[in-house]
Structures are given as C-alpha cells and as structure tokens.
Structure 1
Amino acid sequence: MFLTRRSLFSIASLTLGLAATSAWAASQTDEAALAALRALYEAQPQAAELGDRAAAILVFPKIVKAGLVVGAQTGDGVLLIGGKPAAHYNISAASYGLQAGVESFAYALFFMTESSLKYLRESGGWAVGSGPSVVVVDKSAARNFNTTTLTQDVYAFPFGFQGLMAGIGLEGSKISRISP
C-alpha cells in the first residue's frame, strides 16, 4: 500500500487529535474528582481526617445509576496519591430486583493500607466484595468513628446524590483501571 504525504499527515493529525481529546477528558475527570473530594470534606470533616491517613483515595465524581427492574451503574474516577492524580478507573455494576429510577452520585474510597492499594493496582479488575474489606460510611456513621477506631482496609463514602432511586451499594461493583 502506497501512502502519500497528505495521507500520512492526515493520519498523524488524527492520532494527535485523539490523544489531545483523551488528555483533555482525563484532565476534566481529574478536576471533577478533586472538586468532589473538596465538597465531601466540607460536608463531612471526618472524611478529611480519614484522607490525611489514607494511602490513597479513589474518587468517582459522578456515577450514574438507572434501572427499571434491571439496573446498571457506571462512572469514571481518579486514584489520588498524595493529593495528585496517579491513575484512572471505571466502576460499573448491574443489578436485578425491585428498583426504578435514575440518580447520580459520587463515591470516595479511602485505601487505608498499602496492601489494599496494592490489591487495587495489581488485580485485573476488583470486584467489590472480594479482596480487601470495605466499609460504607454514611453521615451518621462518620460522626461515630475516629482515627483510633479505624480497622478496615477501605472506607467508602457515597455523597452528592441527585435524582431518585431506591437502594445503593458497592457490593457487586467492578472497579477496573482505564487509560483515558
């Protein structure tokens, strides 16, 4: 196959354009994750204390969940180490049962141990419910713990709910590393 200069230029331009678009999308996700984490810290100061002690924080700034008997949820997030983006992840899940509605929300997962962070990084996709133990913390539970009572590998904070749908949980969710 013979390629002309024009076709090589077109292919190179398309490749650079796709790379720039991907980098822009990643930076948008990074900014959204940092803003979501700041909002969580303002709403729940205990989360900020947890963040100071965490080995890493995986923030999903927007997860969309929809269902009518059969449901699904998905969202992209950023792994923050030392407050800086280190990797990108996707969370997805499917469910079946008595459910109806659409909502969006955010999740912040605080990895308290190096071993739980290693598991996230080295697994080919972490199915929540296997591997490190995860405790979902709501506002009332957050008021009752302090840094001396922390004993679990991962703490999850759901927040920023919009829309209307019954039932939420991480069980059965799969978290996979992505390359935006």
Structure 2
Amino acid sequence: MNTPTRRTFLLGAGATLTLTAACGNGIGSDAAAKIDARVDATRDYLISHYPGTRDLMNKAVGVLYMPLITEAGFGVGGAYGRGALRVGGATVDYYSATKASFGFQIGAQQYAHALFFMTPEALADFRAGPGWAASADMQYAVKDKGGNIGVSTTTELAPVIALVFGQTGLIAGAALAGVKYTRIIP
C-alpha cells in the first residue's frame, strides 16, 4: 500500500479547489446568456445598494463585472469566476478570473467584483493583452457608513478602480495572491 505524499495531497487539493470553484460559475450550456444575466443582476445590485456607483459607471470607459467568484483555501488556495466586459453598456468580451494564493489561510467564500476602467489607455491595455494580472496600480474603493461606495479624488484619477462586494462565507488568514483575467469564449 502506498503512503500518500505531500505532492499527492497538494495535487488532490488543487483538483478539488478547481472543481469547487467551477461550480455555479456559468459553466455549461448557454453560458454566455447566464453570464450576461448575472452581469445585469450585479450591475443592478450595485446601483440599488451603492447609488454612488452610478456616477462611477458613467465616468468609466468600460466595466468588467465578475458576478460570482468562488474561493477556497487551506494553505494553498484558489478562486475562479466568469464575467463580462461592458463598454457603453454592451457586452464586448467575456473573461475568466483565476486566483492563486499561498500562505496561512483556511475557509471558503463567494463574492462579486467589478473593475472600472477610467481611462481609454487602461481599457486598451486590458483588452490588448493575452491575460492581465491585477497589479499595484489598481485602487480599491470600500463601502462607507452611508451605504455608498467611498470614492475619493485619488481613486477617481486611478486608471482602474476595483470594487469587491457581496461576500458570503468565511475565509481567514494571510496569503500572497495573484489574479489573472483571461478572455474566454463561453
């Protein structure tokens, strides 16, 4: 009888995370229609719960909506979700977001996020690349006491603004992570 090794455990954990992350993320028949419906619901949720995002949407050159990201981690973690890039209110491309992390972490959660491209250059760079990783030039806006998204002059001048919202589940710890956005054909 073979004794399981650390490598076997990590490969099994990675496969489990991949399968878990794929659940409920629009994989299957009519994937584009499912993604578009979720993007519409996400946009409507942002407008109704955080009225300040309407101004942000109007100022943005394009918005990448990721309506459902599923994340899990136990030392090694991962996340996956699908969404759509909207320019002028119309879907122009579909993207997947894949996140990998390593560190002290345990748990699982689901959340949504939106990337607001505030300059034509930022949007063009995003669309021209074969894949795009979140980097230090991204600014995060957070919910403030009034139930609005707190966007200051600093974030409005940023080329990309990221909003994370609708978190459910529990994940705790500290980890190094990176996110890659890749154009897909659903």
Provide the TM-score with structure 1 as the length reference. Answer: 0.79
Letter in 1 for 2:162: A
Does 1:79 pair with 2:85?
A: yes
The runs of 5 or more residues in structure 2 that have no matched partner are: 1-26
Distance 1:120 1:104, change over 3 A: same
Structure 1 runs of 4+ aligned residues shifted over 2 Å read 140-149, 166-171
Which structure features the higher share of strand residues? 2
The runs of 5 or more residues in structure 1 that have no matched partner are: 1-20
Partner of 1:139: 143
Distance 1:46 1:58, change over 3 A: same
Report the Cα offset of residue 143 of structure 1: 5.0
Correspondence 1:80-95 to 2 at 5 A = 80-95=86-101
Distance 1:66 1:24, change over 3 A: same
For the residues of structure 1 that align with 2:83 and 2:58, how far apart are their CA atoms? 19
| Most deviating of 66-75 and 161-170 | 161-170
How many residue pairs get aligned? The number is: 158
For the residues of structure 2 that align with 1:162 and 1:121, how far apart are their CA atoms? 30
Report the Cα offset of residue 149 of structure 1: 6.4
**1:43-80 deviation digits (Å, cap 9, x = unpaired):** 11121110011000000000000001110011001001
2:62, 2:87 within 8 Å by CA — same for their partners in 1?
A: yes
Distance 1:157 1:170, change over 3 A: farther
For the residues of structure 2 that align with 1:149 and 1:179, how far apart are their CA atoms? 31
Partner of 2:66: 60
Percent identity for Structure 1 against Structure 2: 35
Letter in 2 for 1:123: G
Distance 1:156 1:167, change over 3 A: farther
**Which of 40, 47, 50 matches 1:44?**
50
**Which of 120, 126, 138 matches 1:114?**
120
**1:10-52 deviation digits (Å, cap 9, x = unpaired):** xxxxxxxxxxx97721011011011111101211112111001
Larger Rg belongs to: 1
